[in-house]
Structure formats: C-alpha cells, structure tokens
Amino acid sequence: AGSGVIISTNGYILTNNHVVDNAKSDGIKVRLSDTREFKGKLIGTDKLTDLAVIKIEENNLPVATLGNSDDVDVGHIVFAIGNPLTLTSTVTQGIVSALGRPLRIIDDNNTGYAIENFIQTDAAVNPGNSGGALVNISGEVIGINTAIATTNARYQGYSFAIPINLAKKTANDIIKYGTVRRGYIGVRIKSVDATMAK
C-alpha cells in the first residue's frame, strides 16, 4: 500500500517505484479520497529516482498544483499527505531540516547512477506515506515522500522527499517515452584513497 499524486485530469498518477515494484499487470488498485476505486495501469518506472507513473481511466480529475522545489529552503513549513499505516488521507506538519540529502538507498545494484537529492523534513511519515505529497504552506506539491530514517521501520524524527522538479521531469519522460531519458558521461567521481593514489 502507498500513496500517490494526481498530476493530470485524465488520470496520470505519480508515486514511488517501490510502491508498485513487482505488481502484477492487473494488480494495482487506486482508491481516491472520495472513495471511488479504479484499476491502475503501470505506465513506467524509474528505479534510479524511485519514481513511477500509473494511470486510471477517468477524466476531469482534480489535479495537484506542483510547485518549484528550487524555492524550498531550510526552515520552511511543510505538510506530508498520504495514507500512513492504512490511515486514509492523513496530514502531518513539519519543517524542512536539510536539502540535497543523499541516503544511498535507491541503487540496489551499486551502479552509481542513482539520483538522490532528498528534501529532509521532520513531518511524520510512516509506511503507506510513500508516493504521497509533501506540500508547502501554499498547498503546492514540492516533493514526493519516499523514505524515513529509522531503526524500527517506523517514524523516528526524519523523513525524506524527492524534489518535485526532479519528479516532474521523470514523470514527463515516462508518460511521453515510457522510460526516462537522461545523459551520461563516461567518467565517475570517486574519492582517492592511499591505494588508488599509489
């Protein structure tokens, strides 16, 4: 179970890859806040950002207002919206406590290509919040709630969201091309230790 953000009136929904990972082709159920239920179709995923797009067959849906995550700063008040621990449509409040946080949690295969640039907050986020909106005081989505720092699989004070500017680019590519198009250069950045220096 998880959460999602409606990004188009015709049914495209942004969520986390880990929410829909390994889902069967007919195994995604979407329940809207008005209790309507739909079968969701997986449009595409991007493991390197932990994002995914699903679609439901419906029109004239209410759409979230997407903000500009480049305008977010430490100390800003934010709200996490989602379905934690099966508690439908729950809102928690916090502040942004750090920006550009790398956690090294996405890249299971250690490719070095994962894109981690998390917004860190102290808004309470628990299992079920994944894929839900992090919004500013104007109600604009500025992040997609994705992870928590924890020793017991429950909220212990810090949560992390993917910046919406990164999520928008990823979602647009998935919708348009079915995959994310990004450039690579043929070098990797790595710290030099004594062995390498020698």
Residues forming the active site? 18, 50, 130
Distance CA 77, CA 137 (A): 6
Query: Residue 122 and residue 79: Cα distance in Å, rounded?
Result: 10
**Amino acid, single-letter form, for residue 140:** E
The C-alpha atoms of residue 39 and residue 56 are separated, in whole angstroms, by: 6
7, HSE (Cβ side, Cα atoms, 13 Å)? 29
The DSSP result for 112-165, as a single string, is S-----EEEE-S---TT-TT-EEE-TTS-EEEEEEEEE-SSSS-SSEEEEEEHH
Residues 6+ apart with CB under 8 A from 60: 9
